[in-house]
């Protein structure tokens, strides 16, 4: 007889990996084999998690077809099961898994399409926040602005791809014209994803704006973000880029070394 | 507040759940409920779906203004030997403080082993060891939430070789040791009894009526597994007649309790759920003993 800890570990291995060395011995036959009884639980785990992944990654599913998606999802669930009970948080590593998944390695754009779908999904569930009133920065010392680090909207994701994933995404929506063909050689794209109102949306950014916002999102100060953008485009309008962060309600908080907003 | 029918069961200072038939609130019905505000006595949600932000959370904040709410958790894993995940419990506590649900319930099952969350309500052997584990976890949850929870009987598809305590006795004892209440899922009793060849009425009558704070009703699927019929608790159809009949017997034994219609797969139009709730309401308002005779006829 196993302890409860051993039973839970044995069930976990049986349900996820099909390892039935220990679990069936704990179960009464009772007219139906223990393995068949365990399979009822295993089936539920895999079908519900696959359905969740399909809902998060509908374009990936459409690009590879339902059957292949089911196969890939089963492999993913087995190797990367959920770590917590909030299933809207499950599947963040699916794009990385797809990138290394041999049967679809030839679809080189697929992991980037998956990253876009995850960013949209995550944006939808991101924490609700108040945007920062630019008046809060007025109390800064004269030379403080270059050192300001902004905290940006938690629904924001910035992703770049060497593939036209925005077009791939759009032509694979249910309502799209099936006759449209995407030229994979058309080049890459820098995308900004975030939630606006109740909708997760994305748009393409020029590469200097993208680099500026990415640097800020990665906790670089304004001066460093500006230098990154100017290195890519020496006509980059810093003042306009800074104002846009507030006009678009992207900035939600800020700090400078030795001076915090609450000091204002 | 829309309250159709009857007194409120007040739970430790929270707004009450009426002694009437409510429905499980599911995402496809959210907009319609917010727009048309139908007269539903109370609603129940799975809090795990609302622990993020965004439109789902905002909709919940709106719903709570007009309807008494109950949290029916699925992720606390009360049967885990490793205990309840403190981070998850904290998130649930924060949501509960904000939404102030009238009831909070969870299942007599486990889902987490080590760091892995298996998306199912998995069975426990009913032993003294399991009882100690579940009691410890329920104590912890009730201490953090600062309130009594209800624990629900699960649907079972297997029985352990060593499981000397009967499930209803296990639940009674869990309640005695922790002070938790019980959620009597009548469909789950029916499904478990069919799958494990038990007597559902004997099960029901073992439950101590005073401990039961809520009743659940749902439909189930009938599957063939190697020539044997197995009932699957899929919450994907109307409540079948044998579950209605068992519900009548539950009311006769337990007395009237807030009752909920659950529907989770192949979710139909809201009106279908409201119709099921009306049937449950008729059972609640009529004499239970008469229902036993009517259903048996």
Q: Dump pLDDT digits (tens) for B36-75.
A: 999 999 999 999 999 999 999 999 999 999 999 999 999 9
**What percent of chain B shows pLDDT beyond 70?**
91
Say if CB A98 and CB A72 are below 8 A apart. Answer: yes
- Most B CBs within 10 A among A3, A4, A26, hence the mutation to make, goes to A4
- Give the whole-angstrom CA distance, residue B20 versus residue B216: 12
Residues B278, B283: Cα–Cα separation, whole Å: 9
Does residue A112 sit within a domain? no
A149 shares a domain with A209: yes
Among B119, B129, B130, whose Cβ lies nearest the Cβ of A49? B119
Helix, coil or strand: residue A203: strand
- Do A142 and A213 have their domain in common? yes
In a domain, A201, yes or no: yes
* Residue A159 belongs to a domain: yes
Q: Is residue A13, in this structure, part of any structural domain at all?
A: yes
Asked if pLDDT for residue A263 goes beyond 50, the answer is: no
Q: Give yes or no for B225 touching A (CB within 8 A).
A: yes
Evaluate if pTM is beyond 0.80.
Answer: yes
- pLDDT score, position A140: 81
A262 lies in the same domain as A213 = yes
CB atoms within 10 A of CB A34: 21
Q: Which domain holds residue A211?
A: 130-264
The answer to the question of residue A7 being in a domain is yes
How, if at all, do strands A149-152 and A251-256 pair? antiparallel
**What is the pairing mode between strands B43-45 and B69-72?**
parallel
- Indicate yes or no: CB of B115 within 8 angstroms of CB of A41: no
Between the CA of residue B94 and those of A61, A89, B25, B98, B144, what are the distances in Å?
35, 18, 20, 6, 10
* Together in a domain, A198 and A85: no
Residues A197 and A103 in one domain: no
Is residue B199 a contact partner of residue B189, using CB atoms and an 8 Å limit?
no
Domains in chain B, start-ordered, CATH in brackets? 8-296 (3.20.20.150)
- Nearest chain B CA: its distance from A116 CA (Å): 18
Are A95 and A135 in a shared domain? no
First to last CA, chain B: 39
Using the predicted structure, report yes or no on whether residue A187 has a pLDDT greater than 50.
Answer: yes
Considering the domain architecture, whether residues A146 and A101 belong to the same structural domain is answered as no
What percentage of residues in chain A have a pLDDT greater than 90? Answer: 84
**pLDDT above 50 (res B5):** no
Residue A117 lies in a domain: no
Residue B117 CA: distances (Å) to CA of A51, A201, B9, B45, B271: 16, 30, 34, 20, 34
- Same domain membership, residue A246 and residue A144: yes
How many domains are there within chain A?
A: 2
Nearest-Cα residue of chain A relative to residue B114: A9
The CATH number of the domain where A143 resides is what? 3.90.930
Chain A interface test: which of B49, B78, B113 (most A C-beta within 10 Å): B113
Dihedral sign for Cα B53, B56, B59, B63, please: negative
Within this chain, do residues A67 and A177 fall inside the same structural domain, yes or no?
A: no
Is A115 inside a domain boundary?
A: no
Do A137 and A40 have their domain in common? no
In a domain, A24, yes or no: yes
B228 touches chain A (CB under 8 A): yes
Of A75, A107, A139, the one marking the end of a domain is A107
Any B CB within 8 A of A130 CB = no
Residue B296 banded pLDDT, cuts 50, 70, 90: very low
DSSP state of A192: E
CB-CB: which of A9, A11, A32 is closest to B122?
Answer: A11
3-class SS string, chain B: CCCCCCCEECCCCCCCEECCEEEECCHHHHHHHHHHCCCCCCEEECHHHHCCCCHHHHHHHHHHHHCCEEEECCCCCCCCCCCCCHHHHHHHHHHHHHHCCCEEEEECCEEEECCEEEEEEECCCCCHHHHHHHHHHHHHHHHHHCCCCEEECCCCCCCECCCCCCHHHHHHHHHHHHCCEEEEEHHHHHHHHHHHCCCHHHHHHHCCHHHEEEEEECCCEEEEECCEEEEECCCCCCCCHHHHHHHHHHHHHHCCCCEEECCCCCCCCHHHHHHHHHHHHHHHHCCHHHHHHHHHC
Tell me the mean pLDDT in the region B168-173: 98
**Residues A172 and A263 grouped into a single domain:** yes
User: Are residues A224 and A153 part of one domain?
Assistant: yes
Mean pLDDT of chain A: 94
């Amino acid at each position: 007889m196993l302890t409860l800890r051993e039973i839970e570990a044995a069930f976990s291995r049986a349900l996820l990996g099909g390892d039935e060395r220990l679990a069936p011995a704990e179960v009464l036959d009772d007219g139906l084999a223990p393995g068949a009884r365990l399979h009822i639980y295993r089936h539920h785990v895999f079908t519900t998690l696959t359905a969740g992944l399909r809902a998060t990654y509908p374009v990936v599913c459409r690009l590879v077809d339902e059957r292949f998606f089911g196969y890939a999802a089963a492999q993913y669930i087995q190797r990367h099961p959920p770590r917590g009970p909030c299933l809207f948080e499950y599947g963040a590593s699916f794009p990385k898994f797809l990138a290394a998944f041999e049967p679809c390695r030839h679809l080189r754009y697929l992991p980037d399409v998956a990253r876009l779908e995850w960013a949209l999904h995550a944006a939808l569930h991101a924490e609700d926040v108040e945007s920062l009133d630019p008046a809060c920065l007025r109390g800064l010392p004269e030379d403080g602005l270059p050192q300001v680090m902004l905290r940006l909207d938690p629904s924001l994701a910035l992703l770049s791809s060497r593939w036209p994933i925005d077009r791939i995404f759009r032509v694979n929506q249910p309502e799209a014209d099936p006759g449209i063909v995407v030229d994979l050689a058309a080049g890459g794209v820098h995308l900004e994803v975030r939630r606006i109102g109740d909708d997760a949306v994305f748009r393409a950014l020029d590469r200097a704006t993208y680099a500026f916002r990415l640097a800020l999102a990665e906790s670089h100060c304004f001066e460093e973000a500006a230098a990154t953008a100017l290195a890519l485009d020496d006509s980059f309008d810093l003042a306009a880029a800074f104002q846009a962060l507030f006009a678009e309600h992207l900035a939600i908080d800020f700090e400078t070394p030795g001076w915090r907003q609450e000091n204002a | 507040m829309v309250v159709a029918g009857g007194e409120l069961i007040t739970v430790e200072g929270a707004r009450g759940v009426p002694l009437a038939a409510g429905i499980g609130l599911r995402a496809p019905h959210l907009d319609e409920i917010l727009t048309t505000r139908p007269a539903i006595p109370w609603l129940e949600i799975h809090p795990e779906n609302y622990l993020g932000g965004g439109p789902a959370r905002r909709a919940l904040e709106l719903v709570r203004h007009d309807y008494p709410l109950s949290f029916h958790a699925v992720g606390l894993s009360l049967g885990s030997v490793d205990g309840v995940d403190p981070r998850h419990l904290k998130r649930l506590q924060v949501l509960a403080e904000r939404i102030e649900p009238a009831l909070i319930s969870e299942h007599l099952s486990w889902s987490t082993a080590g760091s892995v969350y298996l998306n199912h309500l998995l069975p426990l052997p009913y032993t003294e060891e399991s009882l100690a584990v579940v009691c410890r976890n329920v104590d912890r949850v009730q201490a953090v939430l600062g309130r009594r929870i209800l624990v629900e009987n699960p649907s079972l598809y297997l029985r352990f070789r060593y499981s000397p305590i009967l499930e209803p006795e296990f639940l009674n004892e869990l309640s005695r040791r922790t002070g938790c209440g019980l959620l009597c899922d009548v469909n789950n009793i029916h499904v478990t009894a069919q799958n494990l060849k038990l007597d559902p009425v004997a099960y029901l009558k073992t439950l101590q009526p005073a401990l039961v704070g809520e009743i659940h009703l749902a439909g189930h699927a009938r599957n063939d597994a190697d020539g044997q019929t197995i009932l699957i608790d899929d919450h994907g159809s109307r409540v079948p007649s044998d579950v209605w009949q068992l519900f009548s017997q539950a009311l006769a034994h337990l007395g009237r309790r807030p009752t909920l219609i659950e529907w989770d797969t192949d979710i139909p139009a809201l009106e279908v759920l409201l119709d099921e709730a009306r049937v449950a309401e008729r059972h609640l308002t009529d004499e239970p003993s008469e229902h036993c005779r009517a259903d048996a006829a």
